[in-house]
Amino acid sequence: MKTKLVYSEKCLGYGTWHIEGPQRVKIAHDILQEKGYSFVEPTAATEDQVLNAHDMEYLWNLRKGMVEDSDTPAYDNIIEFACLSAGAAIVASKIGGFSLTRPPGHHCGRYGSALGVYTRGFCYLNNIAIAVKDSAKKTLILDIDGHHGNGTQEIFLCDPKVTYVSVHQSPNFPGTGKVTEGNCINFELQPNVGGNVYLVTLDKALSCVNPKEYEALAVSAGFDTHSCDLASLGLVTEDYYMIGKRVAALGLPTFFVLEGGYNGQNVGLDVDSFLRGYEENR
């Protein structure tokens, strides 16, 4: 049975000029619809759900449009789009689905950016962190985005209920994730290493954890590792099938949240390849 995708056309309503624009999700949606996936409409995360992962003052500032990074602008009503994307992650966690919404979230820490500004890296709320906190389950988070999820690490560092594993490009934004810290396991890769090196490294990263210790798996599913994307590790569509196969082998109830990936055509094909790898091997 195909994994259900959580999606709303409302997430297309901001940022038409930006690289993290609606086209990357709209094109991916249309490709996946053609391939026979079904879609679930999300509801917005509540304030209480958001505050499980974020500070109240940060939320107030976000409502007032107090952002300090040109890559993460103060769009009109951005809090509404961010809460909808966070809500989509929560729905995905409940149904074992894939949240195909925007804005992404893994650079957003408890107080906004873990780098000292309110928002950064196209992220306003940490969708996957909000969903994991809402579930209250002992969770393994696997981050396959090409950029390190500094916000997710900041929220969960030293949390006994969560282990965070990231395989990401370095050097690249945000410049974190250089070493493993406690329950946050980080593996760096040089740009454009290709699928074989990536998969060997992913296997090493996953060998650091025992899946039997967890109740759930949450995947920050970024596809900017695709060749020529913003954090290229030289991957091609077929490589994501093999990543999905490894996710399935962990044998855990799993949900997925879209992070990066800025070529909509590639995102659609890569999500399909990834989910087929997962579905055909679990």
- Catalytic residue ranges: 107
d(CA 119, CA 42): 24
Whose tokens are 């800025």? That residue is 262
Q: Cα dist. 249→2, 208, 240, 281 in Å?
A: 17, 15, 14, 7
Amino acid at 48: D
Q: Cα dist. 189→44, 195, 245 in Å?
A: 35, 11, 21
d(CA 211, CA 250): 6
Amino acid at 278: Y
d(CA 266, CA 31): 10
Secondary structure of residue 227 in the 3-state scheme: coil
Closest alpha carbon to 81 in 105, 97, 60, 56: 105
Does residue 150 contact residue 110 with C-beta atoms inside 8 Å?
Answer: no
